[in-house]
Structure 1
Amino acid sequence: MTDPISGAKRTQEQAVAAWVNRLNEVRLETLFARLERHADDLDEALSLVDAALRRIDLEVVARNRGGVKGMHGFIAEVAEVGVGNARARIVGEAARYGWVNDNGPVDLLRDGVEIQQKFVAAGGRLGLGAIGEHLNKYPDFIRNGGKYQIPADHYETIRDLHAMSATDASKLVAGSGDGPSYRDWLRVRAFFGTGRVDVDSLEPSALDYADVQRGSYTATLESEKDSLRATARSQRADASAAERASIREAGKATIAAGVVEGVTTFVTAVVRKHRAGTPLAQFTAGDWTEVLGESGVGVVKGGVRGASVYTLTNLAATPAAVASALVTASFGIAELANELRTGTITESEFIERAELVSLEAAVSAVSSLVGQAVIPIPVLGAVIGNTVGTVMYQTVSDSLARRECELLERYADEQRLLGERLTSEQERLVDRLRSAASTYVAVLDRAFSPDVETALAGSVALAIEVGVASADILDSDEKTAAYFLD
């Protein structure tokens, strides 16, 4: 049978391929899981916005809750809950907002924090007057950790005015116009100047003041759904980019495969020398140099194998077992080509051995694929399949080789006996031919003798020699007279 060391090395090669293949599988499984999770997150987020839309339609607008002047406040509360929870869900987080809906000091709860919304534009005070009134009624609201939430555009204006110096404020317009006025700056300064409210006690809503009006909330929430879909697309793109085959991962596969094959080559080289009769303790410097040289070549081959398998599996959709077999066959044929160039083997030997190398690599690949399919355990299935398949192939090929040798040997014996028999017959026939030729020449001499009597007797003898029937031979006076006269 084939050397077990060769079989072990082939198994190691397929193990490396199976490991690289497992790396790819893990990466793809992670990608599919992330994509599936993002799809679920998007569905849940969209359903939260739809639920907010239905609630506003049925519980606020249909009931005319808050009337003409106060309806947008209730719309804002429900919309904030829907949008806030949807934005949390799209990134995989749990719902954060809850709608209190009891006309008490708290409108919303977010992660346990009490929130009072003030979507007020009347009086041009950006809702600060409404905050002051609420604080008069509930003076401990801020001390208890409560937050005042105002429209996002109002919050931005208040923050800008609060941070503005008197010099810059003096350059603002005196009255109404585009943007805040100097009077707005004075109101903000006076409000926070009392010390009752800190600017950090305010926070922006997810929506602007105009977004939650009766005529605009539907478009606002539909736009939010579009934004959620855009976020999901971005998440999918990020997930695909993060789990894409990379040069960094290819480098890891190259290094790992090189180390594994280098170690395997080192061990097999030591074992081969030991089996050749050299005890380990008697290894010379030359022996170790040879072993390390082979190990270095093994590291290079392993690195090429790891990089090739990783590249072929990710760019050419080639099964890892097949990719490794291609690399193995390439190495083997390259070595044979070098032997052919140096004259070590003939062209016919090169072709025969190249076919054998390719066949063995193909058997290894198919065995690994079948083993992985039958035993769906990463790497282990491929290793077992390769081992069993290689042993079966070696057993069958060795058996066939023995049968072929027996057939060839039997054929050679038959040809040898046939040759001996034909040689004997040839010699016998040559002797007969030589004797017949001698007799024929002697009879021919007599037939053409100058003496008539001798010639006549010789002619009769010649006719008999060449096979003329005795009845047709004129060997008497009666036959002669009858032939010429009758």
Structure 2
Amino acid sequence: MSVTYAKDQTIGAFVHNINAQRRADEVASLLQQDSHFAKAVNEVDKVRLFVGSPENILGSDRTKHGEIAEQVEVGIRNARSYLQGGGQVATFDGVGRLAPADYKLDNLEVQSKFYNGINNTLGKGVVGHLDKYPDFTSNKGFYHIPKDQFDVIDKILKGEPVDNLNAKTIASIKSYIAEIESRTGQGFYEVVKPGVSDYAEIQQGTVHGTLDTHQQDLEQQNQRIKEDIVNEHKPSLAEGAKATGIAAAVGAGVSLGAGFYKHYKDGKNVFKGELTAEDWKDLGLDTAKGAVIGGVSGAAMYSLTNYASLSAPFAGAVVSASKGIASLFSDYNKGEITLDDFTSMGLMICAESSIVGLATFAGQTLIPVPVLGAVIGSLAGQMMVNLMGVDSGETIAALNKKMAAFTANLDAKYQHVVAHILTEYRKLGDLTVTAFDFDLNVSLLTRSVDLARAYGVEEDKILKNVDDVDDYFLS
């Protein structure tokens, strides 16, 4: 059994590393997203600082909204980019305050035109600017206009009905659109694009509320991103398959090494060509068996550590004990060992798991050495009962009687400790038994659907068949 324990603990270590790496990546990603959000909020704060000093804003009280719109545009676009992990996309750097362009977006010059009324924005704003700078769009420069005005223009161009505009106004808008396209030699959508704000949102009396709304949007987006990060770092079938593959390799390697050592003890040196064809055949079978058992053990440990909240050493010990008890119980049923033999050897096998269980669940509880054996015996007995599954009842009844005798030797304080640890054992339910049942694993997908529904998972988020699983992992 020592080789088995070593193998399972090695597999447990690999599983622990897989889990630890995933959790470390999750923490790192969440911290990085916190940094992204802080940079985004800082951009909003820069705009707040600017609009908080209206005496420094160009224009009269009636026209200051023009420069406010520019600041909001640059700040919010950068904030959205930073939130997604991007860099600066908009800037005033290299653009004079009274230059033909107001700012740059993705290294392209942009002129912001925010007038009251669509015709004023297109006529006085865009066309008027083209009168002074006819080549402004020749290097892909373009205009930003109020988002709500752009939406109305978009409806007009698509022939959709528009409220609160008469035929004369619509005709005038179309005329300005035609003139803009004629002057620039480009389509309207290439020359004029929507800003991030409506006209009313960037006025002196409303801009503070506008910035509050933008920050709330950033907070909501940030929360969704962090939720996605958490979901992306949950245990998965793909990672479970990775753990299974590694465990199979470990199982095969340890079995092969053990086989070499066994033959070496028998006086045969594999490196000197002293193994017979039959020896190599046995080694091959043992290695293949080790790979299969290792893979099953790895899958079980991945499930135990991620879905039953067990530590990797405890999961390894539980898996080792599971296989040991299964082998003993088979010998007992065949009449090859007595109940006393089964009990004694089973308790020894489960003792390791019990000791790890004490360390895992008892924590800081100090248990005197004189009663330690009784505690371990009680836990080992409980574990034997859990790992045996369904029986005729006679064997389990006998084991429970022995376990009660162990527990009776404890005083009330340590009976409470045992009760606490046994509660943790019982949380395993049939998970360990199920992990080693090949027949049950054939129906894994069907049972996972039932489990998801039992836990209230939304129906449209449940993977119900192989096609759903393939679509999920290949999309």
**Which bin holds the TM-score, normalised by the shorter protein?**
0.5 to 0.7
- The answer on whether the counterparts of 1:90 and 1:232 sit within 8 Å (CA) in structure 2 is yes
Aligned position for 2:288: 296
The letter of the residue matching 2:335 is: G
- Residue 124 of structure 1, CA deviation: 2.1
For 1:298 and 1:332, locate their aligned partners in 2 and report how far apart those are by CA, in whole Å.
Answer: 15
Does 1:184 pair with 2:161? no
Show the counterpart of 1:263.
253
The residue type equivalent to 1:329 in the other structure is A
Deviation, 1:146, is 2.3
With over 3 angstroms needed to count, the CA separation of the structure-2 counterparts of 1:277 and 1:208, relative to structure 1, is same
Are residues 1:36 and 2:25 paired? no
Structure with larger Rg: 1
1:217 aligned residue: 207
Is 1:243 the equivalent of 2:227?
no
Q: Using the TM superposition, give the Cα deviation of residue 196 of structure 1 relative to its aligned residue in structure 2, in angstroms.
A: 4.7
Give 2:238's aligned amino acid.
Answer: R
- Per the TM alignment, residue 205 of structure 1 is displaced from its structure 2 partner at its CA by 1.0
Of 103, 107, 113, the match for 2:98: 103
The corresponding residue for 2:109 is: 114
User: What pairs up with 1:406-445 in 2 under 5 angstroms?
Assistant: none
Whether the 8 Å CA contact 2:14–2:246 is kept in 1: the answer is no
Judge conservation of contact 2:5–2:317 (CA < 8 Å) in 1: no
Question: Post-superposition shift, 1:57?
Answer: 2.2
How far off is 1:363 after superposition? 7.0
Distance 1:106 1:238, change over 3 A: same
1:175–1:181 CA contact under 8 A, matched in 2: no
TM-score (norm 1): 0.65
Structure 2 distance, partners of 1:355, 1:296, is 29
In the alignment, the residues of structure 2 paired with residue 247 and residue 159 of structure 1 have an alpha-carbon distance, to the nearest angstrom, of: 46
Alignment match, 1:84: 77
Q: How many residues align?
A: 356
Letter in 1 for 2:291: V
Contact 2:137–2:191 (CA<8 Å) still a contact in 1? yes
Residues 215 and 150 of structure 1: is their aligned pair in 2 closer, same or farther, counting only changes over 3 Å?
A: same
Distance 1:337 1:106 in 2: 84
* Candidates 49, 57, 63, aligned match of 2:52: 57
Aligned-pair CA distance for 1:202? 2.3
For structure 2, the 5+ residue unaligned runs are 361-475
| Equivalent position of 1:142 in the other structure | 137
SS of the aligned residue for 1:148 comes to: strand
Q: CA deviation at 1:261?
A: 0.2
**8 Å CA contact retained: 2:113, 2:145:** yes
**1:116 maps to amino acid:** Q
**Residue 338 (str. 1) matches residue 333 (str. 2):** no
Identity of aligned residues (%): 27
In the alignment, the residues of structure 1 paired with residue 164 and residue 261 of structure 2 have an alpha-carbon distance, to the nearest angstrom, of 96
Q: What does the per-residue CA deviation read over 1:252-298, in whole Å, with 9 as the maximum and x for residues that have no partner?
A: 11122022202321332343244334565565555444433333332
> Which residue does the alignment assign to 1:155?
150
Task: Kindly state the Cα deviation for residue 44 of structure 1 after the two structures are TM-superposed.
Answer: 2.5
2:243 counterpart (253, 268, 279): 253
- For the Cα contact (< 8 Å) 2:152–2:162, is it kept in 1? no
Distance 1:174 1:251, change over 3 A: closer
| Alignment correspondent of 1:450 | none
Aligned to 2:65: 72
- Alpha carbons of 1:244 and 1:178: their partners in 2 closer, same or farther (altered >3 Å)? farther
> Does 1:207 pair with 2:197?
yes
CA offsets per residue over residues 409-449 of structure 1, 9 Å max, x none?
A: xxxxxxxxxxxxxxxxxxxxxxxxxxxxxxxxxxxxxxxxx
Asked if structure 2 preserves the Cα contact closer than 8 Å seen for 1:44 and 1:89, the reply is yes
For residues 179 and 244 of structure 1, what CA distance do their matches in structure 2 show? 59
SS at match of 2:137: coil
Note closer, same or farther for the CA distance 1:37–1:150 as it changes in structure 2 (3 Å cut): same
The answer to whether the Cα contact below 8 Å between 1:125 and 1:187 also exists between their aligned partners in 2 is no
Distance 1:361 1:122, change over 3 A: closer
The secondary structure found in structure 2 opposite 1:70 is coil
Residue in 1 that maps onto 2:442? none
Tell me, yes or no, if the aligned pair for 2:146 and 2:196 is still in contact at 8 Å: yes
Provide the C-alpha distance between the structure 2 equivalents of 1:123 and 1:233, rounded to a whole number of angstroms. 36
Query: CA separation of 1:201/1:182 partners in 2, compared to 1, >3 Å: closer, same or farther?
Result: closer
Secondary structure of 1:181's match? helix
Distance 1:174 1:348 in 2: 90
| CA-atom RMSD in angstroms | 3.2
Give the CA deviation at 1:40.
2.1
State yes or no: 1:315 paired with 2:307.
yes
- Give me the whole-angstrom Cα distance separating, in 1, the residues matched to 2:278 and 2:331: 24
* Equivalent position of 2:385 in the other structure: none
More moved, 255-264 vs 273-282:
273-282
Shift of 1:326: 1.0
Give the whole-Å Cα distance in 2 for the aligned partners of 1:179 and 1:115.
30
How much does 1:178 deviate? 9.8
Q: Which amino acid aligns with 1:298?
A: G
Per-residue CA distance 1:457-477 (angstroms, 9 max, x = gap): xxxxxxxxxxxxxxxxxxxxx
| Aligned-partner Cα distance in 2 for 1:39–1:175 | 44
The DSSP-based 3-state class of the residue aligned with 2:104 is strand
Which residue pairs with 1:349 in the alignment? 341
Call closer, same or farther: CA 1:101–1:212 in 2, change over 3 Å. farther
**Partner amino acid for 2:284?**
L
Which amino acid letter does the alignment assign opposite residue 348 of structure 2?
A: L
Q: Secondary structure at the match of 1:116?
A: strand
Supply the distance in 1 between the matched residues of 2:228 and 2:56 (Cα, whole angstroms). 44
- Could you tell me how far 1:121 is from its partner in structure 2? 3.1
Q: Is the 2:90–2:104 contact (alpha carbons within 8 Å) kept by the matching residues of 1?
A: yes
SS at 1:13 equivalent = helix
Distance in structure 2 (CA, Å) of the matches to 1:125 and 1:292: 85
What letter is aligned with 1:327? V
Superposed counterparts of 1:362-441, under 5 Å: none
- State the match for 2:422 in structure 1: none
Judged with a 3 Å threshold, the aligned counterparts in structure 2 of structure 1 residues 172 and 355 are, in CA distance, closer, same or farther, namely closer
Letter in 2 for 1:224: H
